[in-house]
Structure formats: C-alpha cells, structure tokens
C-alpha cells in the first residue's frame, strides 16, 4: 500500500515537470529581442527547458526559492526566500522591471510563472517597506486565510504583481507559461498574477484583513484606504498583447495519478482538484467518506483510492512544527481510529510542506499503535500544530527534496478490499 501511494504521488509530480510541459507551449520568436522573466518554485527548471528548446537569441532572469535553482547559461537564476520575502527577492523584482522597460512591439517576453512567485517577487508600493510586508506575511500565514485571500492583499501592495509586470512590458508581446498551484487555476492568484488582470480591489483587501482581525502596519492601511494600491484591471489596454497559458494544473496531476491506480487494479476517484478549508476539518470529512466506503462499499466499490488536490489552511495556535498536509494527515489518522482498511498519503508537490523541508507523510492502520508505543499522543501533537515531528518520530515522513515543480497539495486515501494492513506505517 505504501509503495502504491508513493507511485501515485510520483506520477502527479512527474506530470508537471517543466521539461515535459514547457517545450510544447513555446511561442514563435518575434522580429526583436526575446526576454525571459519569471518567478516561482518551478521557474528555474522552466527556464532551463526554455534554453534547451530555444534556438534564437535569448536573455533574461527568473527568481526561485533557495535550493530550487537549475543550471542555465543565457537566463540568470536568482534565489530568494519563501514564504516570507527577503531583500534578495526585492532586488530581483527591481531588476526585472528594468529588464522589461522600453521594449518595442517587435520584442517578445516569455514569462515563466509558478507557485511561490508571490513571496519571491516582493516589490512594495509607495511607503510600504519590505519589513511591513514580512510582518504582514507572517500574520496572514498564521491566520488561516486562504491563498486567494492572501494574494488579494499582496496584489494591492505590489509594484510588480496584479498585472503590473505585463503592463511594464507593453507594447511588447507577452506569453506567460503558467504552472498552477491554486484552487480553481485562477490566473490572478497564481503568484498573485503578475501578468493577469485583477478583478479585486483595495476595498476587498481591507475587508479580508478585518475578517481575520489583522491590524496592518500604518503604511499598508494608508495605501489600501487611499486606493493608491489599485491593481491593473482585465480591460487595461496594456494587457491586450498578453497571453496567459496554463501548462500544468492540479487536475492534470490527479489524472496522472489516477492512471497509475487504474493500472494497479484500483478504482481512482478524483473528488476535487480545489479543496480548501481548515486542514483538520477537511480530514474529518474525507475520513467519514473513507469509512463509508470501507464499511459499506458505498458510494464507491472497494478497492478504490480517493484523490484530491487544492490548498487547505492551518490556523496556527501551537508552538510546533507542522504544515497543512501533515496536519491534514494527523487529523485523518485520529478520525479513522486505526481502521484496518484505510491507508493514506498527503504531500505538497513542491517537496516542502510548511515549516520543514519535508513533502508530507503516510498513515496506515497501525500508525496510532506505533505512536503509542513511542509515547506519542497524537491528539496533543495535533493541538500543538506539531505534525511533522509526530511523523518523523513514527518513521512515516516523505522527503523528496525540491521537485522543481508545484501543482499544490496531493492527497490519496486508499481503501483496500480485504482490510489487510502493512507491517510499516
């Protein structure tokens, strides 16, 4: 069971590898310069794929997370911090805008966008400082706000996101190749939409801050209340020559995993590619579905695997080391209470889940039993938001290293036909 679950994860990640998805979407070269820019956890590997398959002149720069770089010769790779932005990312954003300034209609900009770009391209507007954005990022990450809500705020405090990068390229042609890591594949939410028109407003951003009880720095409040942070809208003429192309998505990753399950004789059920909500609460719902299938063969026959993606959230209240995928999995484990027919895996497809360089973890029917033998109280560890430590102790963590792509969370809940369980977690 453990081996099969890992095969499903590997298939999902492989389906979104830049070397596979970038070449088939490359545009024709224009009569002028070709410049590559971009940001995200997959952007360096995307740049590498562009270089390999581009025969003409090429220049540019992309920003990726520390440790996620690739070897390129014509495109500069810059590494910066994620999820809380740093000065390296800010300097790169300034340079990127200079790189695309004063282009002509004959020039082509290939923009490489993937998850993580919001934090990797921090360029504050007006009097907002990097320190203000860092403080706000920490508050949002701990609040339980959804990725869509966080990125709404980010777009209205940025000089490069919310369509501003595409506007800066005008009148050049812009082709954005995008690997989606957000529920619903909403272009303005992927890396906070540097080349996508934004339908939200400063007023929306203020409402989100109020909803979560976040008191922003004075400079942030001023720029939002004055509407000075208003983003580029979809009907802006500077976006007329910008084309945004989704080249990899969570749904396609789930379909790749489903094919592996099918070949193994397991019925795949794709529940959704865009599940959101508190990780521990989502887990309770999926546990109830899994128990219904295991105990009654309804609404799906056994054996089957419930596949889902999206991006859950964690309202941080404890002092532990966790992430949304392992928090989901620990809550699922408690809700299943060692059901003999259910195994599961949850992981972030970029290889990093929350506060550890760990992708996620597995559970089996014996996970709680093993934890008890080690003196671990699963409920207490969940209450402390300490799921990574829990799974490290029981030997069930998944460490992939940087996968160099990102199609968000991957969850697989496997219900066996016989109820046999592995000897390991």
What pLDDT digit, counting tens, does each position of 385-409 carry?
Answer: 999 999 999 999 999 999 999 999 9
| Per-residue model confidence (pLDDT) at position 419 | 58
Which residue carries 């590494």 as its tokens? Answer: 79
Q: What is the rounded distance in angstroms from the CA atom of residue 347 to the CA atom of residue 410? A: 5
Kind and range of the H or E run holding 356: none
How confident is residue 17, by pLDDT bands cut at 50, 70 and 90?
very high
Q: Is 279 a residue whose pLDDT tops 90?
A: yes
- pTM, 2 dp: 0.93
Give the tokens for residue 69: 């770089």
Stretch among 84-98, 139-153, 220-234 having the lowest mean pLDDT: 139-153
pLDDT of 14 above 90: yes
Sheet with 342-348, side-by-side order of all strands = 267-275, 304-310, 409-415, 342-348, 360-363, 397-398
Give me the mean pLDDT over the 144-152 stretch. 93
pLDDT of residue 45: 97
Reported as a pLDDT band with limits 50, 70 and 90, residue 144 is confident
Tell me the pLDDT tens digit for each residue of 351-388. Answer: 999 878 899 999 999 999 999 999 999 999 999 999 99
Write the CATH number of the domain with boundaries 2-8+251-415. Answer: 3.40.1480.10
Q: What would be the CATH architecture of the domain defined by 19-248?
A: 3-Layer(aba) Sandwich (3.40)
Q: Domain ranges for the chain, please list them.
A: 2-8+251-415, 19-248
Q: Is the pLDDT of residue 71 over 50?
A: yes
Structure-token pair, residue 212: 């979560």
Q: Give the tokens for residue 174.
A: 């812009």
2-8+251-415 matches 19-248 in fold: no
Report the pLDDT value the prediction gives residue 354, as an integer from 0 to 100.
86
Strand 59-65 vs strand 75-80: parallel, antiparallel, or unpaired? Answer: parallel
Per-residue model confidence (pLDDT) at position 24: 96
> For 249-257, what is the mean pLDDT?
98
Residue 98 pLDDT exceeds 70: yes
On average, the pLDDT of the chain sits at 95
């Amino acid at each position: 069971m453990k081996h099969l679950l890992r095969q499903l994860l590997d298939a999902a990640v492989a389906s979104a590898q830049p070397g596979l998805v970038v070449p088939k979407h490359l545009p024709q070269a224009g009569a002028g310069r070709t410049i590559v820019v971009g940001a995200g956890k997959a952007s360096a590997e995307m740049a590498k794929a562009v270089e390999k398959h581009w025969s003409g002149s090429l220049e540019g720069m992309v920003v990726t997370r520390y440790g996620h770089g690739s070897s390129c010769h014509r495109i500069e790779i810059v590494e910066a911090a994620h999820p809380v932005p740093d000065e390296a990312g800010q300097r790169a954003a300034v340079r990127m805008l200079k790189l695309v300034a004063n282009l002509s209609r004959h020039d082509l900009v290939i923009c490489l966008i993937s998850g993580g770009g919001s934090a990797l391209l921090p360029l504050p507007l007006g009097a907002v400082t990097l320190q203000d954005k860092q403080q706000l990022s920490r508050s949002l990450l701990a609040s339980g706000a959804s990725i869509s809500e966080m990125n709404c705020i980010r777009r209205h405090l940025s000089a490069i996101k919310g369509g501003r990068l595409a506007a800066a390229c005008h009148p050049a042609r812009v082709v954005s190749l995008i690997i989606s890591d957000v529920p619903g594949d909403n272009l303005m939410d992927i890396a906070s939409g540097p080349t996508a028109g934004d339908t939200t407003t400063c007023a929306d951003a203020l409402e989100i801050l109020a909803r979560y009880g976040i008191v922003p720095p004075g400079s942030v409040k001023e720029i939002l209340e004055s509407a000075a942070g208003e983003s580029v809208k979809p009907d802006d003429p500077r976006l007329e020559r910008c084309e945004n192309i989704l080249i990899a998505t969570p749904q396609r990753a789930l379909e790749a995993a489903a094919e592996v399950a099918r070949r193994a004789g397991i019925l795949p059920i794709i529940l959704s590619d865009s599940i959101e909500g508190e990780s521990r609460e989502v887990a309770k719902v999926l546990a109830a579905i899994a128990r219904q299938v295991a105990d009654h063969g309804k609404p799906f026959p056994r054996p089957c695997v419930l596949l889902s993606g999206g991006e859950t959230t964690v309202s941080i209240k404890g002092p532990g080391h966790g992430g949304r995928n392992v928090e989901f999995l620990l809550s699922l484990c408690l809700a299943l209470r060692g059901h003999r027919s259910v195994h599961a895996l949850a992981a972030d497809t970029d290889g990093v889940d929350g506060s550890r360089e760990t992708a996620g973890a597995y559970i089996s029917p014996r996970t709680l039993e093993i934890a008890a033998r080690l003196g671990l109280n699963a409920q207490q560890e969940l209450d402390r938001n300490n799921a990574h430590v829990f799974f490290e102790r029981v030997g069930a963590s998944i460490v992939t290293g940087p996968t160099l792509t990102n199609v968000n969370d991957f969850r697989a809940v496997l219900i066996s036909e016989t109820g046999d369980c592995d000897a390991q977690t």
